[in-house]
Amino acid sequence: MNCEHYLVSNTNIEAYGLTITGQVRQANEDSCGFATVPNGELFVVCDGMGGHVGGATASRIAVEQIIQHFKAQRYPNIYQALHDALCRANIQIIGAANAEPSLKGMGTTACIMLFDGNDAYIAHVGDSRIYLFEGQKNRLFRITKDHSYVQSLVDMGQLDDREAEHHPRKNVIMKALGTKEELKPEVYMSPVQPAKGDMFLICSDGLSGMVDDDGIEAILSTDQSIEQKVLDLVTNANVPGKGLDNITAQVIKVVESPYPFSNHPDHNPNWRKEACSTPTHNEKNNPTPQQVAPPKKKKTKLLLAILIPAVILMLLIGGGVAAYFIWWHGKEKIEEPIQTKQEAEEGVNLQDAKNEMEENTDQEMKAETESESNAKDADGKNENKTIDVELI
Rounded to an integer, the average pLDDT of 102-108 is 95
154-163, 195-204, 248-257, 362-371: which has the minimum mean pLDDT?
362-371
pLDDT: which is higher, 62 or 315: 62
Residue 91 near residue 83 (C-beta atoms within 8 A): no
Task: Return the CATH class of domain 5-286.
Answer: alpha beta
pLDDT tens digits, one per residue of 352-379: 444 444 554 455 555 555 554 444 444 4
Q: What is the DSSP letter of 117?
A: T
Cα 287 to its chain centre, rounded Å, is 25
What pLDDT is recorded for position 333? 36
What pLDDT is recorded for position 342? 37
User: In which region does residue 119 sit, left (phi positive, over 0), alpha (psi from -120 to 50) or beta (all else)?
Assistant: beta
% pLDDT > 90, the chain: 62
Residue 148 pLDDT > 50, yes or no?
yes
Contacts (Cβ under 8 Å, ≥6 apart) of 103: 50, 53, 54, 57, 58, 96, 97
- Phi–psi pair at 84, nearest 5 degrees: -65, -35
pLDDT tens digits, one per residue of 283-336: 333 333 332 233 344 444 455 556 666 667 776 666 655 544 444 444 433 333
**Domain spans of the chain?**
5-286, 287-392
Residue 383 pLDDT > 80, yes or no?
no
Residue 277 pLDDT > 50, yes or no?
yes
Please list the alpha-helical segments (H only) found in 72-180.
78-99, 149-155, 161-164
pLDDT tens digits, one per residue of 135-145: 999 999 999 99
What pLDDT is recorded for position 246? 97
- Phi–psi pair at 254, nearest 5 degrees: -85, 115
pLDDT: which is higher, 302 or 34: 34
Angle at 8 between CA 192 and CA 28, to 5 degrees: 90
* 114/69 Cα distance (integer angstroms): 12
What pLDDT is recorded for position 161? 85
- Per-residue pLDDT band for 386 (boundaries 50, 70, 90) equals very low
Average pLDDT, the chain: 79
pLDDT tens digits, one per residue of 216-250: 999 999 999 999 999 999 999 999 999 999 999 99
* 327/202 Cα distance (integer angstroms): 79
